[in-house]
Amino acid sequence: MVEIPAQDIRKWVSDLLKSGKFVVLSTITGYQEGDKIFLLYHFATKDGMVDVRSSVPLAGPKIDSISNVLPGAILYEREIHDILGVSFEGIPDNRRLILPEDWPDGVYPLRKDYPATRGEK
């Protein structure tokens, strides 16, 4: 597990890719803890997983997108944008990924203030 500050993520990923080693991004996990949203990048290499953790404040969640250095990251970033409300600066495509078309803006289901179970009708 590697912890790096949010502003360094793009450079860190670029350096990793430039190293020439075999690297595939498995996914990006987003989760909220208290007043922060954590982003966990799961990289798979031939020597095992390299997990990179960054955090952004809940009040203004913004981080650089890594999709321009690693095209395979785009769907994972869009998903986190959709369900957690994190903004990825420089992301080439910012549309909704999985929530319905008429889902209200500003409502992020994976944040802790959203109920996990739908009430009975």
Partner 1 sequence: MNERIILPIGPQHPLLKEPTHFKLTVEGEKIVDADIRLGYNHRGIEKAAEDRTYVQDLYMIERICGICSHVHATNFVQATEELMHVEIPARAKYLRVIVGELERIHSHLLWLGVAGHEVGYDTLFMVSWRDREVVQDLLELITGNRVNYGMNTLGGVRKDLTKEQIDEVLKGLKVLEDRTRYYAKVALEETTFVARVSGVGPLPKDVAISHCAVGPTARGSGVDYDIRRDAPYAAYNEIPFKVITSDRGDVLGRTIVRVLETFEAINIIRYALEHLPEGPISIKVPRKVAAGEAESRYEAPRGECIHYVRSNGTDKPDRVKVRAPTLANLTSIRYTLMNQQVADIPIIVAAIDPCLSCTDRTQVILAQADSKRSENLSWGELRRRCVTKKPL
Partner 2 sequence: MSNTTTPEKKTVKKQSKLAAKLAGWSRIKSPWIIHFNAGGCNGCDIELVAALTPKFDVERFGVLLKGTPRHADILVVTGPVNEQIKSRLKRIYDQMPNPKFVIAVGACACSGGVFKGCYNSLGGIDDVLPVSAYVPGCPPRPDAIIQGVYALLNKLKKGE
Q: Which positions touch partner 1 (CB under 8 A)?
A: 22-27, 29, 31, 40, 42, 44, 46, 48-49, 51, 70-76, 95-101, 109-110, 114, 116-118
Burial status of residue 27 (CB atoms within 10 A of its CB: 0-12, 13-18, 19 or more)? middle
Instruction: Choose between 47 and 101: whose C-beta lies nearer to partner 2.
Output: 101
Query: Which of partner 1, partner 2, none lies near 107, with the C-beta cut-off 5 to 8 A by kind?
Result: none
**Residue 15: what are its φ and ψ, rounded to 5°?**
-60, -40
Strands (E), 75-114: 87-89
Give CA–CA dist 69/72, Å, rounded. Answer: 9
Site string for partner 2, 75-104 (x = CB under 8 A): ------------------------xxxxx-
Which residues are near partner 2 by CB under 8 A? 99-103, 109, 114-118, 121
